[in-house]
Amino acid sequence: MSKPHLEVAVGVILRHDGHVLLGSRPAGKPWEGWWELPGGKIEAGETVLQALARELKEELDISVTHAEPWVIYTHEYPKNTVRLHFYRIHNWQGEPRGLEGQEIKWVDPRNPSTSGPLLPAALPPLRWLQLPEQYLLTSIGEAEQLPLYLQKLEQALQSGLRMVQFREPAWAAQTGQNQAIHAAFQQVLSLCHRYQALCLINSVHPEAWWPQADGLHLRSNDASAWQSRFSHDVSQRQGLLAMSTHNEADIQVARALNTDFIVLGHVLDTPSHPNLAGMGWQQFEQQQQHAACPVYAIGGQSASTLATAQAHGAHGIAGIRHLVGQA
């Protein structure tokens, strides 16, 4: 017998300091006393935004003035399956207060346990909130360019960049460059850690290097080969797992791998793909809805496109040229 399936709108209400609003489950309801993100069931005839606005007014007495689509995620409870439509909310009117007898509390996503036991479906979005909005892919190219690149990277880190992918496919294709590339990777990694930034490594580089990084970023053409290894035992992973995707087939592979996030594109026309048009924002939004994890838009992205990307469901933006120059 199949379980009931519920469509639920969820508000990820964020304060200016990055704290998120949680509420306790009221007495008499399932999971009484557990903490969750506010929201509720989408009624027949409602859009997600309509349901979200209604629920937050009924639960918290606030009126949402701006909400961004974020992640659509399915969670299976013992008695039902819920499809959660997470929206990030930075702007609202009114002071949140519990209208249904629930406690409410602002918590740091990095330390949410201070509130009490969390509903299982609340755990993934609290992890996702810890991911930064900008993701830089390195483009050093050769050993002679490393000193200048490190200067630019440090400037970006000083300006707030908090996640970098070491990715040097052209350099790696040159014969006899492994030692120089490994030294560059170690310098980039050390610089990132000096500024409490994450440094992932691309799967184009030797597997022996991967444990040194804060995570692994799989190229789409490498992902299938690693699928059986990474999808079976998540607990054996070291750090984050990310993947580059270009279409819905790639996204399905990423879902099977249970990636922490994906990069999707290219979205806009870019010099790195001169003869291939970008997918555009409409197609990006349609595809990212199937990811079940945060999605970074790539291709023609810069700080000026961040708001547009997030309006179309992106967690943030990824890029090579612009982010190191103006992060």
Residue extents of the structural domains in the chain: 5-122, 134-326
In the predicted structure, residue 262 carries a pLDDT above the cut 50: yes
pLDDT of residue 229: 67
Of the options 3.40.50.620, 3.90.79.10, 3.40.50.1010, 3.40.640.10, the CATH number for the domain spanning 5-122: 3.90.79.10
Confidence bin at 326 (pLDDT 50/70/90): very low
Contacts 24+ apart (CB under 8 A), 301-305: 301/265, 301/267, 301/268, 302/326, 303/134, 303/327, 305/268
pLDDT of residue 290: 97
- In CATH, the number for domain 134-326 is 3.20.20.70
Across the beta sheet with 81-93, the strand order is 39-41, 5-13, 81-93, 63-76
pLDDT of residue 191: 98
In the predicted structure, residue 295 carries a pLDDT above the cut 60: yes
Mean pLDDT score, 213-236:
78
Mean pLDDT score, 12-32:
93
In the predicted structure, residue 327 carries a pLDDT above the cut 50: no
pLDDT of residue 58: 97
In the predicted structure, residue 323 carries a pLDDT above the cut 50: yes
The predicted-structure confidence for 79-97, as pLDDT tens digits, reads as follows 899 999 999 999 999 999 9
CA distances from 92 to 77, 150, 166, 171, 215 (A): 31, 41, 39, 48, 36
The predicted-structure confidence for 153-171, as pLDDT tens digits, reads as follows 999 999 999 999 999 999 9
